[in-house]
Chains A and B, each alone.
Chain A
Amino acid sequence: MRLYAIAVYLFLYAPIGIIILFSFNAGRHASDFRGFSVKWYGKALDNPFVMDALTTSLTVAFTTAVLASLMGTMAALALQRVQGRLRALYDGVIYIAIMIPGIVIGIATLIALVTAFNFLNPLLASAWPGGKPPRLNMGYASLIGAHTMFTMALVIVIVRTRIAGMDRTLIEASTDLYATPWRTFRQVTLPQIFPAILAGFLLSFTFSFDDFIIAFFVAGSESTLPIYVFSSIRRGVTPEINAIGTMVLGVSLSLLVAAQFLLRMKARQARAAG
């Protein structure tokens, strides 16, 4: 049994370990370790295409995380007031959004947007008062939109769990102590759910930053870091790719750990105070 478990973990993590190991390879081939070096990290960070893709990825991930945590929190708060069948419906839709495979979201978003653009662009062109009419196209906006829709569902679930675990009498205590509903929200509700919002923010960021499938469909001419990695792999796996992979892994892991820490810490605090 133990051997079996070791085999499973080896199978899961050995390739990742090899990527990390070979990112420090002094040689130029992925399968041939020639001593230790960090030169590929420097190479990767010097490559303008990599930096371009990284900038795109970071911008998209950050905007996605901001939008998703804002709208997700608002939705979670609003959903607290929805009861009965309607609530069950919303819950179902949210969970479906999380479970839909990325490829379906990617294709569906692509088709929907292309259809919409094909319909809107001629209209825009004919209605434009002069000069060159703007063209709606795939790019930043469609990337952010698709990622936000998906990650918002995550934020809703996380924040709602936190709201459900919150002591209702705290709100009553606040109103009893002369705080208006808005001030109660700012001074009691928000601080209570803030760690959950932050955790949602980090998860959204990580998801968007790592995502390849959805991005591949809706990025248009933009290239995110995962898309760049995928396209350069066709020219062979270099230690440079390994270095990029290792950096992405490092960023993602630390954000995920931070999110988990936030969620746990708050739960512990609530227990201690209860």
Chain B
Amino acid sequence: MSQPSDVEFVNVTKRFGDIVAVDHVSLSVERGAFFSFLGPSGCGKTTSLRMIAGFDQPTEGDVRLSGESVVGTPPYKRPVNMVFQHYALFPHLNVGDNIGYGLRQRTPQPPRAEIEKQVSETLELVRLSGYENRRIWELSGGQQQRVALARALINHPTVLLLDEPLAALDRKLRREMQIELQTLQREVGITFILVTHDQEEALSMSDTICIMHDGRIVQTGSPTQLYDEPINRYVADFVGKSNFFEGKVVEADGQGARIETPAGRTFAGRNPRDAASLQAGAAAVLAVRPEIIFVGSPGAGAPYDADVEAPAVIRNRIFLGEQTEYLVEAEGLGEVLVRAPKHAETQTGGFNPGDQVVIGWQAAAALALEDA
């Protein structure tokens, strides 16, 4: 884990006039990692990426590439390349000339044959062999995406930056490209830094995700860590789905806390690693992932020792194939989203809107979080 870092932010702040886009951010990206900035639009993730590329300069703080400060270094002198959101391919050049663009800027310029050879190799890497002479507008969205990737990768940058690279693709193609990007990253071993607002994209591809909100880092960690140990409501809400029950902390011991809802029910929840410990009396929230909640017929008994049980009525059934989601109205809890896997559905036979059911969960799987 103690690899040298390729990209480092030391207390970086970026202001545009009165607007603070990035607010005292410090981070470090390991060499060869697949790192993602995840957050809603306006959270500062794109500005952070642009500061690594050199299109924006930090107002305060230091940006380092391979340990050396690059503040003030123009983009064309940085060993990083970017895949732009709308690809930004040069419309007046064909595919081969687009990809060879970076090589042609070198002094001395590599011989023509050498450039052609590398272009064809890179095209092969992105599975577009033989496309050298195509015009850009003849390509489909997915193909343009690959050309944009090839145009960046051919330069063997220290860091490859990807700005919402899959946003313009349709869902199926996006899934394919996610897998492809991940495979490609392992193959070439270059540090990838991805900016996205799509949690699924970040979760499926990254080694490390940095969740940003209002220009600040909320939490940095592996996808599993962010999913299982979110440090507050914001992260739990942004990564995956969660049910939130708001209330006040009645007691807390650093390991976990008990939260009392306005309706008068008290729930126990675990305190995630890295999360600030809760204080008694503070506003807090109990986060329960829909897949850890079971749903069963009344009297059929819980599949395990549930710490919390509540009678409920099915409001809505959403069939997702490998699993089924139920929106239920539970006594004393309000609307709760429950996810039943296929095998559970086979056992219970499934439920329909209006059915009386019981839902429940184990306290150890619920999280007591700061309401932020």
Contact = CB atoms under 8 A, between A and B. Distances in A.
A273 B139 CA distance: 9
Interface string A73-117: 000000000000000000000000000000000000000000000
Interface in A171-198: 172-181, 183, 187-188, 191-192
Nearest to A170: B88
Contact of B76 (A178, A192, A270): A178
A172 B106 contact: no
Interface in B310-324: none
Contacts of B137: 269, 272-273
Contacts of A174: 90, 101
Interface in B46-104: 53-55, 74-77, 80-82, 84, 86, 88-92, 101-102
Contacts of A272: 91, 137
B151 interface: yes
A273 B95 CA distance: 12
11 contacts: A172-B82, A174-B90, A175-B76, A177-B102, A177-B105, A183-B105, A187-B101, A188-B90, A191-B92, A273-B136, A273-B137
Given A176-B76, A178-B76, A169 B92 contact: no
A270 B81 contact: no
A178 B105 contact: yes
A183 B90 CA distance: 14
Given A178-B105, A178-B155, A269-B137, A169 B88 contact: yes
Given A176-B82, A269-B137, A170 B55 contact: no
Nearest to B144: A273
B155 A273 contact: no
A183 B55 CA distance: 17
B148 to A, nearest CB: 9
Contacts of B55: 172, 175-176
Interface residues on A, range: 20 to 34
A176 B87 CA distance: 13
Nearest to A168: B88
Chain B interface category by residue count: 20 to 34
A192 B89 CA distance: 12
Contacts of B86: 167, 169, 274
**A-side interface mostly:** helix
Given A269-B91, A273-B137, A173 B105 contact: no
Nearest to A194: B92
A187 B55 CA distance: 19
A169 B105 CA distance: 18
A177 B101 contact: yes
| Nearest 3 CB-CB pairings of A with B | A273-B91, A272-B137, A173-B88
Contacts of B75: 172, 175-176
Interface in B114-155: 136-137, 151-152, 155
A273 to B, nearest CB: 4
A191 B54 CA distance: 25
Interface string A239-269: 0000000000000000000000000000001
Nearest to A195: B92
A191 B92 CA distance: 7
B91 A270 contact: yes
A172 B88 contact: yes
Nearest to B82: A176
Interface in A181-222: 181, 183, 187-188, 191-192
Contact of A192 (B74, B84, B92): B92
B86 to A, nearest CB: 7
Nearest to B75: A175
A22 B90 CA distance: 51
B257 to A, nearest CB: 48
Interface in B149-181: 151-152, 155
A172 B84 contact: yes
B150 to A, nearest CB: 12
Nearest to B79: A178
Nearest to A169: B88
A74 B2 CA distance: 53
Given A167-B88, A178-B102, 10 more contacts: A167-B86, A169-B86, A170-B88, A170-B90, A172-B75, A172-B84, A175-B74, A178-B76, A179-B76, A269-B91
Given A183-B105, A269-B137, A173 B84 contact: yes
B105 A179 contact: yes
B61 to A, nearest CB: 22
